[in-house]
A and B are shown apart, each in its own frame.
Chain A
Amino acid sequence: MTAHRPSADGSPDRDPSAEQAPAAGTRTAPTGRVTTGFGRYLLKHVSGAAVSLLLVLFSSFFIFRLIAGDPIDQLTRERPVTPEQREAMRAELGLDQPMWNQFLDYITGTLTGDLGTSLQFRRPISELVLERLPATLLLAGTGVVLAVLLGFWIGTRAGWKQGSRFDRAHVTTGLLLYSAPTFWLGMIAILVFARYLGLFPVNGMRSPSTPDEFLPQALDIGHHLVLPVLTYTAVVYAGYLMVMRSSILDEVGADYLTTARAKGLRDDAVRRRHAVPNALLPTITLVFLAIGGIVNGAIVTETVFSWPGLGSLFVSSIFYPDRPMLQALFVLFSSSTIVAVLGAEILYWFIDPRIRKS
């Protein structure tokens, strides 16, 4: 399943979060007795998720201590300062505290909802994250929905007629885009559609000249959204296409489809009403992972298009290094994946009878 994870967007931070979550979340506490019901099933998975969350919470403090660099260097770059001034800055930003105190502050802060202050923006992190969240949900959310729909739709058809021209053309195109570097594809899109054809703005989320009213703003944001979303979708949809295609291939020869055909149903109906519902089952985890990954944003896409989302925030925080911000984002990204996987596990209980019986 992880092999098909659609993360061609090249976001290295996703790997720990995405892989940690299911590993810790699903393999804990084998009960040794026959599962007696939904409550037990739920408890098992919720507690697993809780353990994962705690691990994420503790580890994120230490992971980002590995990034070298003194944030004061960034603050004083290009403008020399005296030692006293550096001291004053360290004290105000809390960098002079011993590591243990910083750790305690971080844990108690995070648990009480106070994520601390960003070093680079010098504003409360929770405020910055909330400000960015809508932009990320809009871009990555639209992108994921489009990619899943497109991937599943083409994947179904391609798998249904394996080896056909449709199949070969779409698999080739999909994989070609899947392997294209997002950064490069984004720049090409900017050059062609914004620079030369002038159909779309080069980047950003809205133009400073748009009147501050709802309709013009909404249209302007929609206009800015097109290129990044298309770039993001183009790069990731092949992941869903391939999974759906192989899932359909597993069903194609099944007896129940022969039965359906024998009833006189048209090929279309056989596929839509019988094959697809069964083929969708294995893809649910994938879809939930994608939903959990939406908050991570599309890191590279956001950077190329200067989209003011969480992904580009993460990137600029790494370069700073803005450790409090990185910690908070890491916890946020990881926990959304953990929660999404938990959601998938719960859903399986209801839609897959085999889980209830095992």
Chain B
Amino acid sequence: MTRRLMAAGGVLALSAGILTATSTQAAAQDEDDVDRLLVATDQEVDTFNPFKSRYVITYNTNMMTYDTLIRTGADDYQPVPGLATEWEESDDGLTWTFTVREGVTWSDGEPLTAEDVAYTYDLLISNPAIHDWNIDFAGNLVSAEAPDETTFVLTLKEAAPAEILNAGVFIVPKHVWETYPDPSADDANDQLPLVGSGPFQVSEYRTDEFVRLSANKDYWDGAPAFDEVVYDYYSEGDAAVAALEAGEVDIVNGLNPAQAEALGEQDHITVNNAQGRRFVSLILNHGAQTADRELYGDGHPALRDPVVRQALHTAIDKQELVDKVLAGNGDPAVSIIPAIFEQWHWDGGDELVQFSLDEANRMLDEAGYERGEDGVRTMPGGGERLSFRFYYHADNTDYANVVEYVTEWWSEIGIETVPEPIEQGSLNDLVYLGEYDIAFSGWGVGPNPTEMLAMHTCAVLPTTTDGSERSHENFYCNEEYDALHAQQMVEPDPDARAELVKEQQRILYEDAPVIWLYYQNVLEAYNHDKVTDLRTQPAEGGMITGQQGFAWAYLSATPVEGSGDEGGVSTGVLIGAGAVVVVLIAGGVLLFMRRRSTADERE
């Protein structure tokens, strides 16, 4: 009897603790009238130093904390005014003059002037560590000057209009940064709250718990409606989904189709199925080579033949992949620049490869790849069988599904594949060593196409064969392509530039060192009972998270009226907790009495 009581007491003690905690929590939330936008994240913070950070999460906190001279537009990724109201390029393209917006203040109240802008750009030029870390952009800068409070003049070594318009250099406050002993240190900018001129500033950070950003109520482009944006950590996607359903987090991204579908059935949740910036591709080992054109690695010789690569391409039904693997959440890919960047995307035109196993078979027959007894083709003249190693990322179920389909199609054109799931790190090692035949790859593309296109130029080929130089995508080198690349980088007229960029894409498409499979949609969801007016980028079918050049969605986001938490519960819980405590005390007394009695018994 008493033992039962002890057990009951234990259980009650536990529940009492839990209930008290719950009720206190509810009470605390009731008192809290801060409008807080909670965004789920799973990425650690590398550094709050905007010149050094490379991660997506810090890119986002930088975009909110600071401003750039020129923003990337919300509607169509076009450059629009930011801190600079106007800009002008000299005839030779080497001198840029910006008019800096007047009346802007830092979040600590100090005025922002062209001095701050010049100081920021000068760090990129004259601070060696910052210069090296950002060498792709900083290497082209000569000087940064502020002749007066509203004028900023930047001079370049070579004309590079696209680079300047898409620079995304976060302007930092001179009066704060001057006090840093080493502005290039990863921990230089760790004094919170950060001082910036953007709509929200990082104000609190707890490693792998949350990053809090507080609104800049004096923001020059209008005060944000939310008081805070908080990045909250969820290391498991399913947990983030559960939290969104339970109302503990307001925005979740990176959903899989099943999660998106389940969330779509919830009354308080809107799923945003947005066109993505990401492509998934197959890279073919067309001959791993060094900058001196020395072949290395052990790629299959048949893949050096463009006909084989094109036949492989022809034998992939991309629409089927989108329908079956992505459950329709994507688009068949054509070239390296995804369709979301309308201005730069090349759509294939008349040359668009149509899925046809017959056509692929015909191409291979004509080129002399005859089928052996087992149905697998051999090299012309009866050499090696066309059997390709097919590497995919072991943690990616989409890729595993793609492999199933592709293997089946290719087997029908007499090509054997040997699929092998490999952990990401090892897969990269093998690719850069040239020790693969076919492997998966995928990139998120930014608004400036130069970055992606540059990965296929001769200039980034490795100088050694040890696989340590990894700036190239797939050992590609083509002088015609390189010439177009150099031309498009200096072309000031956007339309003329677009023509050049499209021609580059056409060459890559025809040569087929890479087969682009699909552009993946971004699946994200938010609680529309708590947040509304999230501006997407681009305007039509665009995304909320993963915006480029400026965090439009968080500036426009508005709390829904009367979305406060459910009050009243706490009182009930408190009464319950009180009852539990009473029972607990009674149990304790009983227990004590029992102890006394056994003690008596023993004596």
Contacts and interface: CB of A to CB of B under 8 A. Distances in A.
A321 B425 CA distance: 8
A94 B133 CA distance: 14
A137 B518 CA distance: 46
Interface in A177-202: 187, 190-191, 194-195, 198-202
B313 interface: no
Interface residues of B, number: 67
A92 B184 CA distance: 11
Contacts of B32: 209, 211
Contacts of B235: 203, 303-304, 306, 312, 316
A224 B506 CA distance: 55
Given A73-B425, A75-B54, A209 B28 contact: yes
Given A131-B207, A198-B246, A70 B468 contact: yes
Interface string B122-163: 000000010011111001000000000000000000000000
Q: Binding site of B, secondary structure by majority: helix, strand, loop or mixed?
A: mixed
B397 interface: no
B25 interface: yes
Contacts of B132: 84-85, 88, 91-92
A222 interface: yes
A80 B451 contact: yes
B564 to A, nearest CB: 12
Contacts of B135: 82, 84-85, 88
B124 to A, nearest CB: 13
B139 A219 contact: no
A305 B422 CA distance: 27
B303 interface: no
B571 interface: no
A226 B18 contact: yes
B533 interface: no
Given A122-B186, A191-B242, A308-B206, A86 B25 contact: no
Nearest to B130: A88
Contacts of B133: 85, 88-89, 92
B233 interface: yes
A203 B425 contact: no
Contacts of A191: 242
A273 B545 CA distance: 64
Given A85-B135, A121-B44, A122-B186, A79 B451 contact: yes
Contacts of B129: 88, 92
Tell which of A83, A86, A121, A187 has the most Cβ of chain B within 10 Å. A83
A132 B454 CA distance: 41
B36 A123 contact: no
Contacts of B454: 80, 82
Contact of B239 (A80, A304, A316): A304
B239 A72 contact: no
Interface stretch (B208-216, B337-345, B497-505): B208-216
A82 B136 contact: yes
B47 A122 contact: yes
Contacts of B246: 194-195, 198, 202
Given A92-B133, A210-B25, 4 more contacts: A82-B136, A203-B236, A209-B29, A306-B234
20 contacts: A69-B426, A69-B428, A78-B56, A79-B54, A80-B455, A82-B136, A83-B460, A85-B134, A88-B135, A120-B46, A190-B239, A199-B18, A202-B239, A208-B209, A220-B21, A226-B18, A303-B236, A306-B234, A306-B236, A316-B44
